[in-house]
Structures are given as C-alpha cells and as structure tokens.
Amino acid sequence: MPGVGKSYFGKKAAEILKMNFYDTDILIENNCKMSISRIFETQNEDFFRKKESEIIKKIVKQCSSNTIIATGGGTACNNNLMDFMNANGITIWLNADTDLIVKRLKIYKNKRPLLKNEVSIEEKIEKLYNERCDFYAQSKAKVIINEGLTPILFTNSLLLSTIE
C-alpha cells in the first residue's frame, strides 16, 4: 500500500544493518528520466509495473545478499513478482491501518499517481486496500509487521532481532 513507510523504513533498516538500499520508484524514475506521476500520465500503470519487474530482477541478479529493496505498493499484485522475491530473499509486508495511511498520504496527495485526481483519498485507499489485501495475504510474505509502525518501534524491533 502507498504510505505504509516502505521507503522510509527500508532506508532506516539498511542504515542500521549497514546494507545496500534500493527504492524501486527512484530507480524507475532514473531509468525513465521522468517522475512516477509523469510515467502514469504519459504511459500507463502496465508500463510502470513492467519497469518495476525488470528493475527488481536486475537488482536481485546484480547485488549481494546484503540488500534491502523498497518496492511499490502494487508489487505483490504484479505478474507473480512475489513468487520471484520470496524465492530470492526475505519479503516483509508492512501492513498499516487505512486511517494511518490516509493521514500520511494527505500531505503528499499530488505526488502519488494513484491519488492525484481522487476527490476522496479515504475512499481510494479503502478501495486499494480491499483490492490488494488478498494479494498481500496470498503472497506469503515471510515477515508481516502490523500496525503501529514508528521509527522507534521499528528500530527497537530490528535491533532486537539482529541481537538474538
């Protein structure tokens, strides 16, 4: 889902663990030389998902195991990409309450292509969540983190898990 903190928490985890970090949205923008919003306007979501798949496979092929990849919120719904990611790493589903997602996304509404022209962010997020939740559940992410994601909680949990 957009707004759960994939990029933020992925980057923080990579810093703490001294790992490489890649954000697929940034790599897609660099590859296409345009913003995600512009890609959605001039191409379409299928084009974006194809690029996303290519980039994830390229990262996995070229990088060491010391890598964290923040993917788009729709990645789990895309061309069996979750099967590929599960076969090649530890997948994590950041599952946040839709109210928290809406609160975060209201700040960045115009930067989110799936929300740009929406009258009601609440309705769109609820619809997206309902559409994607089954895919997320079926994707069998190896780790699921539910609700209450904050930098402090995430850091403490991560540090505890690396010490054990």
Q: What are the helix and strand counts (H, E) for the chain?
A: 8, 4
Give per-residue pLDDT as tens, 31-70.
Answer: 999 998 889 889 988 899 899 999 999 998 888 678 899 9
Q: Is the pLDDT of residue 122 over 90?
A: no
pLDDT value at residue 44 = 85
Q: b/e per residue, 107-142, with b = 16+ CB within 10 A?
A: eeeeebbbbeeeeebeebbeebbeebeeebeebebe
> Quick check: is 11 in a domain?
yes
The whole model's pTM is what?
A: 0.77
> Quick check: is 164 in a domain?
no
User: Three-class SS of residue 118?
Assistant: coil
CATH of the domain at 31: 3.40.50.300
Structural domain containing residue 82: 6-147
pLDDT value at residue 26 = 94
> Quick check: is 157 in a domain?
no
Q: Which amino acid is at 97?
A: D
Q: How many domains does the chain have?
A: 1
> Quick check: is 60 in a domain?
yes
> Quick check: is 84 in a domain?
yes
> Quick check: is 42 in a domain?
yes
